[in-house]
Structure 1
Amino acid sequence: MVCRNKGRADAAKDEIVEKSKNQNIHVHIVDMSSAKQVWEFAQTFSQSNILHVLINNAGCMVNQRELTEEGLEKNFATNTLGTYILTTALIPALKKAEDPRVVTVSSGGMLTQKLNVDDLQFEKGAFDGTMAYAQNKRQQVIMIERWATQHKEIHFSSMHPGWADTPAVQTSMPSFHAKMQSKLRTEAMGADTVVWLAVSAAATKQPSGLFFQDRKAVATHLPLAFSRPTPQEEEKLLAALEEFALKFKP
């Protein structure tokens, strides 16, 4: 478990051990908004471990424009760059395993956004945290599609968990939570497709690089929506992420 807060991480670990009776649970404290910390963790972990499944689940929706200590906008740093660095740095450890997989927890919110490669840090115009988050989630889906074509030995997928009643939804989207509370999924329902993609034999019968909801591959663009990026825009995103990543590599 890669977690930011040690107290909450240890409590979660204790609960998992108690319910599963599996003592073999390990906590690593990493702030995913810190590119340097992500690099250091991934490099150290790769030296002595094989990795079977990576689940990119860490995320944030910060509603005021806020910079990290490294000078990066916080949503982008956590959701996009953190995911990019962690995954690319752990690919060698994944390739040592049999049937390796990467699952990124994206969001259906990305359907509202067309990739905007010209403002990755949200410096132009009024800042909107919900829009920034949706942009990051669109970027994650594009990264998964690209990695699937580059690394055939690994099965990549992204997914939308549905709108679940989690602390993150309560704090980041209080008005949405208040309106939708009776219709929201449980945390277990939200996690179902993540677990299925991580461990089931059926998941890897699906092509690599797809976007899932409720264990089914679904479209990454709404009908008639002008949300498809050009290959050049996708290339520009990946080039920018590589440049950012190398800038902070220890």
Structure 2
Amino acid sequence: MVKRILFTAPVSYHNRLREAISMSPVSFSPLFVPLIRTSVLPPDGAFLEFCRCLTSFDYIVCPSLTAVRALASSDQSRTNFEGRVVAIGRDQLSVTRLLGVEPVLRYAKPSMMGIVEALQLQSSPSAKHVAVLLPQFSGLPVPTTITDFLSALRLMGVAVTPVYCYRTSTIDKECCTDLADALCHGFVDAIAITSGGEAYVLSQILSLAAAQGQSVEVPIYSFGPYTTRCAQEVALDVAGTSPCHHSFTDYVEYLASVV
């Protein structure tokens, strides 16, 4: 029997997941139901001010693909980006594709704290001025991965400027109800989460099912240790965490081995 795995990542990552699945010898059937939505915000005064002084920053950190897209929407000259843009994992390829420049700190581990470790290896990190492109959260809390990242930078003495340029929001309540029903009736064999936001919404869906007297017995698998930590903080029982989390290919191969 072919297993059905529910992928909860936002739409912006579906193409990469599909590509990873098509390139791997997997036997499961993927289902894509995004639990969070991301969208670039219209440029406001704060973002326009950031654009005006963009070249004053030593680094511009893009923690997600949507952050890279938000930066691309600024219509800045590529020369203003050169030697400044930091991205995580495969998002580095999007920096080259969308901004026309090579990302810096390419050797950093594929996580926000990996960026912190890479900055610590730079000369005089406390003298650096770093902009971090962040989402405004609607309907869900700020993940600890973000607050810990900002705190770690400030602890190093880095001058940090948060720039809120995109929105992350939850799916609507009706979708949550429908998904809770699908999970309770055994339509899904496993759930694959890739971020703290997804973990939070999933916890709300499982709570909704429990409030209706329904039990969900579906194992949850995490993309990496930081996602697992966020999941545990909202009382999700994580069945397994991918030991390699450099790309979705690693994650898909892990899922194929355990589901």
- Same fold flag (TM > 0.5): no
Name the structure where strand makes up a greater proportion of residues.
2
Q: TM-score, structure 2 length as denominator?
A: 0.30
- Structure whose CA Rg is larger: 2
Which structure features the higher share of helix residues?
1
Point out which structure has higher relative CO (alpha carbons under 8 A, 6+ apart).
2
